[in-house]
Amino acid sequence: MGQRDFDVMVLGATGFTGKYVARDLQSLVRDEPLKWAMAGRSSSKLQETLAWMGPGKRPPSELVVADASDPQSLQAAVKRTHVLINCVGPFRYTGYEVVAACIEAGTHYVDISGEPEFVERILTLFDKAEERGVSVVPCCGFDCVPADMGNLFAKTEFEKRGYTATSVEMFIRLTSGPLGISGNFATYESA
């Protein structure tokens, strides 16, 4: 991978989830040297997010203007970091391109998606990622955790009884409170 400007970059740091990822990263960073950056489409929104985050143990080394829908901007950003945390959604629109850019640049990739269609699409990049020694880790956000835990539970219970689960179907039922149902538009859009 060679010398890079940053250890970690948060792409989409001005978005709904990205700003919390960035805030937590600056608060959780220990004493070890770590250079990290916040990236987003707008310099002014990056500044606003930085102000919203407040002081932390380790503020970002740099604010990087990068647009997931602009291939040149994206490539310039991802080649500067060892690891990219992608918070730009819906992933069905720009996620594939971000993963492909990371693989091309030799940058490890992590995201917060919970979108099965997107994950299926990026599986086509597996051989290239493996060839380049790039780790691609989708679905590190909450959306997928209940389904993953449910699958693990079903698999374990089947194995205890000497069976092998060949498929699992899951359903979710949402109920509303007095104010109705609330959610994130990007999550709804990706469904």
Give the pLDDT score at 56: 79
Do 119 and 184 lie in a common domain?
no
Do 38 and 99 lie in a common domain?
yes
Do 28 and 120 lie in a common domain?
yes
Do 124 and 155 lie in a common domain?
no
Do 88 and 127 lie in a common domain?
yes
Query: Minimal CA–CA distance to 66: which of 125, 116, 6, 118?
Result: 6
Instruction: Decide if 89 contacts 116 (C-beta within 8 A).
Output: no
Segment 139-161 shows an average pLDDT of 82
Q: How confident is the model at residue 175 (pLDDT cuts 50, 70, 90)?
A: confident
Distance CA 15, CA 54 (A): 16
Do 118 and 43 lie in a common domain?
yes
Global pTM reads: 0.80
CATH code of 75's domain: 3.40.50.720
State which of 102, 120, 137 marks the end of a domain.
137
Segment 126-133 shows an average pLDDT of 98
Per the structure, the count of domains in the chain is 2
Task: Give buried/exposed letters for 33-66 (b at 16+ CB in 10 A, else e).
Answer: eebbbbbbbeeebbeebbeebeebebbbbebbeb
Q: Which pLDDT tens digit goes with each residue over 45-69?
A: 999 999 999 987 788 999 999 999 9
